[in-house]
Amino acid sequence: MIYLDNSATTRPFDGVIEAMASSMREGYYNPSAAYGPAIAAEREVRACRRAIAEQLGAREEEIVFTSGGTEGDNLAILGAAQALRSPGVFACSDIEHPAVAETIARVERMGHEVLRLPVDARGVLDLAACERLLSPRVALVSCMQVSNETGAVQPVEALSRLVKRIAPGALVHVDGVQGFLRVPMHMARMGVDLYTISAHKIHGPKGVGALAVRGGVRLAPQMTGGGQERGLRSGTLNGAGIVGLHAAVREMAARRAEVEALRGMKRRLLDDLSGLPGVTVNGPLPQEADSAPHILSLSFEGVRGEVLRNALEAEGVIVSTGSACASHKQKVSDALLAMGRTREQADGTIRVSLGLMNAPGEMDEAAARIASACEQLRRYRRR
């Protein structure tokens, strides 16, 4: 099998599995307890905080552990909304993941005003349009670092400068689930107040992640109880999951050159498909600086993405038609429509996403099977 759906989830590193097994066998103590073995477990938790903070240009005490990206996004956005004394303006891009888009919609139902920020035909935020839309009343702007559908890297630093100039008190939240440890992030230098990560997107375990919260930012907790995580996220910490996240962060950081080498694989796959007519790249081209190294969105004329995905699975190639969170709904991608794609183009799209378990030679085989499947499906399309 050739697995090319790493934006949905990644296979954990062997070191992650081993670290978690050891934690569950020997380090299973509650990190909040006061006796010796529990204090050792708390040291493991602190080590993970430090490792994440080092990669983000943040401080150890600014890292709040969560159950993953969705919870982190909810805590950032709802927490900011509920901390306000009066209704404010919340903004997000037109291409956000449902974890942000649906949460922003909930904020609107709470009585806050909502702005949708447009993107250009490449799926990159239109900063000139943002400047016209934003006002001093803005309380929070949320923008993904990397599009989970197209791999477009968003101009986070430029957006933050723009937001802080127009609305100095506004918060900037970045959904870094597809960006963390694949494209650079330095929260202090880039003006980011809140940053979300998820372990299972970086070859770690499912069910654990973190929200980095800049010191001084006020959030209303969404889970109350024992007051863990500085009162921002009550509940017994997922010790084994945090140990696994730490192992994943360490290995991803050590293999940074291999992460960037995924860009070459992406180009190789696209080059291999160059002889197939009717192929459109959605998002920046692989060689462009604002293209993430691991995600490639392709539309195929005369082929439905869902049908192509199923045909490829039968041939041992696993891809997706977009966000895994929405794949069962069989709806046309709002993000692609926001980029100006037609409904037919959006319906004919698959997403290829790479991870550190992929090998260059797999690109040739995958491209051959994609081309063969497209040619066969086009023969049987309705005329």
**127 pLDDT exceeds 90?**
yes
**161 pLDDT exceeds 70?**
yes
Asked if domains 2-9+256-379 and 60-233 share a fold, the reply is no
Query: Are the CB atoms for 36 and 238 separated by under 8 Å?
Result: no
Helix (H, G, I), strand (E, B) or coil at 378: helix
Query: Are the CB atoms for 300 and 60 separated by under 8 Å?
Result: no
**39 pLDDT exceeds 60?**
yes
Residue 351 parent element (H or E): strand 349-353
The highest-level CATH class for domain 60-233 is: alpha beta
Q: How confident is the model at residue 380 (pLDDT cuts 50, 70, 90)?
A: confident
Cα–Cα distance measured from residue 204 to residue 82, given in angstroms and rounded to the nearest whole number: 31
Tell me the DSSP string of 327-342.
Answer: GGGT---HHHHHTT--
CATH entry 3.40.50.150 includes domain 2-9+256-379: no
**Domain residue ranges of the chain, discontinuous segments joined by +:** 2-9+256-379, 60-233
Q: Which two tokens stand for residue 41?
A: 């477990």
Tell me the DSSP string of 186-224.
Answer: -HHHHT-SEEEEEGGGTTS-TT-EEEEE-TT-----SS-
Residue 331 pLDDT:
76
Half-sphere exposure of 231 (CA within 13 A, CB side): 3
* 82-102: pLDDT as tens digits: 999 999 999 999 999 999 999
Residue 191: closest CA among 210, 214, 209: 214
Q: How confident is the model at residue 126 (pLDDT cuts 50, 70, 90)?
A: very high
Mean pLDDT, rounded, for 102-127: 97
Mean pLDDT, rounded, for 207-221: 98
Positive or negative: CA dihedral 156, 157, 161, 167: positive
Whole-prediction pTM = 0.96
For residue 168, the one-letter residue type is P
Helical H runs in the chain? 14-26, 36-56, 69-83, 98-109, 127-133, 156-166, 187-190, 239-254, 256-272, 305-314, 334-338, 343-347, 360-379
Cα–Cα distance measured from residue 340 to residue 261, given in angstroms and rounded to the nearest whole number: 30
Residue 332 pLDDT:
85
Mean pLDDT, rounded, for 167-183: 98
Beta bridge partners of 142: 92, 173
Q: How many CB atoms lie within 10 A of CB 14?
A: 11
**329 pLDDT exceeds 70?**
no
Instruction: Please give the distance of CA 230 from its chain centroid, rounded to a whole number.
Output: 25
Tell me the DSSP string of 1-29.
Answer: -EE-BTTT--PPPHHHHHHHHHHHHH--S
For residue 265, the one-letter residue type is M
* 278-324: pLDDT as tens digits: 999 999 999 999 999 999 999 999 999 999 999 999 999 999 996 55
Mean pLDDT, rounded, for 255-277: 97
Residue 6: closest CA among 156, 186, 182: 182
- Of 48, 92, 325, 374, which residue is the catalytic one? 325
Phi, psi dihedral angles at 60 (to 5 degrees): -55, -45
Q: How confident is the model at residue 328 (pLDDT cuts 50, 70, 90)?
A: low
**13 pLDDT exceeds 90?**
yes
Please indicate whether residue 48 is annotated as part of the active site.
no
